[in-house]
């Protein structure tokens, strides 16, 4: 029993001896001599399967090390495939961008075809000053496209602004949310006239316009549509500006001021239309909202033609 335990204990040494014996036998068999004795032939026949297994293992290890430490065709192909996938993703992104642009241009085209009172040129927004939130921006149409200073700029949603500077193939636009902009406007329901301009709330995610110079007795509520009045001849009459959201009065006997939410999304302007021509009747002066009784003028020789009501 003790002897068996000793053999088990020395099993690593026994394995070592066997491995050494196998290696010596391999050296003998792979020596340069062509002729082997009968004993060597027997030993070789016995150890041949072992030798084949060792060769197979060493060959596998070599191939593994070659794949790990040396660039293989598989790794090169994998890299090429990843680059191809990245290119496909980029192409898909470009196609989606073109699809969305095509949808926007279709909408503009439908709007353009519905308008018989003015002629437009479609333009793409190409730049803006990041500090003024589309208050002033650049488009890719200019003098060569028939665009001139003070021409109105719109989208299918409503009024954007007007041209303030032109080049050969570019123009600069001042939008209605700019503080220096002013648009003669009218409340569609009550026919009250006023002037719409940008406010200090312009450079926010939800810009508001201010409609000032409203009559003292104007009866305006939130949700009323505000449009261009056509006064001044710069903008055609009837272009949508936005809807009222709040009405205030600065003093007890002062005029009302209405805050207007623009109809145009000034956060996502990409394509616009420039009105290059509109019919004369679009600029007729609106008199209904301001009609009020007034004393008859004193008769005089020079004003007899205006004395009749």
Residue 103 lies in a domain: yes
Per residue in 11-64, pLDDT (tens digit) is 666 667 676 677 676 666 655 544 555 555 555 555 566 556 655 656 666 666
In this prediction the pTM is 0.58
Confidence of residue 291 (pLDDT cuts 50, 70, 90): very low
Residue 298 lies in a domain: no
Per residue in 184-223, pLDDT (tens digit) is 999 999 999 999 998 865 555 678 999 999 988 888 999 9
Residue 2 lies in a domain: no
Residue 1 lies in a domain: no
Residue 301 lies in a domain: no
pLDDT at 138 over 80: yes
Query: What distances in angstroms separate CA 78 from CA 89, 124, 303, one per listed residue?
Result: 17, 41, 93
Shared domain check, 182 and 92: no
Shared domain check, 214 and 87: no
Domain count, the chain: 3
pLDDT at 234 over 60: yes
Positive or negative: CA dihedral 75, 78, 82, 84: positive
Shared domain check, 191 and 149: yes
Kindly give the residue spans of alpha helices, DSSP state H, lying in the chain.
2-9, 11-29, 38-69, 73-114
Report the Cα 78 to chain-centroid distance in Å. 33
Shared domain check, 228 and 134: yes
Residue 83 lies in a domain: yes
**CATH number of residue 245's parent domain:** 2.40.10.350
Shared domain check, 82 and 172: no
- Per the structure, the complete domain to which residue 103 belongs is given by 76-114
Shared domain check, 136 and 185: yes
Confidence of residue 92 (pLDDT cuts 50, 70, 90): confident
Shared domain check, 199 and 82: no
Half-sphere exposure of 4 (CA within 13 A, CB side): 1
What is the mean pLDDT of the segment spanning 280-308?
39
């Amino acid at each position: 029993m003790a002897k068996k335990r000793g053999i088990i204990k020395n099993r690593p040494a026994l394995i070592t001896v066997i491995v050494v014996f196998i290696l010596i036998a391999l050296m003998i068999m792979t020596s340069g001599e062509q002729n082997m004795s009968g004993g060597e032939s027997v030993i070789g026949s016995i150890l041949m399967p072992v030798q084949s297994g060792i060769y197979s293992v060493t060959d596998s290890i070599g191939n593994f090390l070659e794949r790990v430490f040396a660039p293989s065709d598989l790794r090169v192909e994998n890299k090429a495939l990843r680059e191809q996938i990245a290119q496909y993703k980029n192409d898909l992104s470009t196609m989606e961008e073109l699809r969305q642009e095509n949808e926007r241009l279709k909408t503009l085209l439908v709007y353009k075809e519905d308008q018989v009172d003015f002629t437009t040129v479609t333009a793409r927004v190409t730049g803006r000053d990041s500090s003024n939130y589309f208050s002033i921006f650049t488009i890719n149409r200019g003098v060569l496209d028939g665009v001139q200073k003070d021409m109105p700029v719109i989208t299918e949603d409503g009024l954007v602004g007007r041209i303030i500077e032109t080049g050969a193939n570019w123009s600069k636009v001042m939008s209605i949310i700019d503080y220096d902009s002013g648009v003669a406007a009218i409340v569609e329901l009550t026919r009250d006239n006023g002037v719409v301009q940008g406010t200090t709330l312009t450079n926010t995610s939800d810009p508001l316009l201010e409609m000032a110079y409203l009559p003292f007795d104007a009866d305006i509520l939130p949700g009323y549509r505000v449009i261009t009045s056509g006064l001044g001849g710069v903008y055609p009459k009837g272009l949508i500006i936005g809807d009222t959201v709040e009405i205030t009065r600065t003093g007890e006997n002062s005029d009302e001021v209405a805050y207007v939410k623009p109809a145009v999304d000034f956060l996502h302007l990409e394509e616009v239309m420039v009105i290059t021509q509109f019919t004369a009747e679009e600029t007729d002066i609106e008199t209904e909202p301001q009609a009020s009784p007034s004393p008859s003028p004193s008769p005089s020789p020079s004003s007899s033609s205006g004395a009749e009501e």
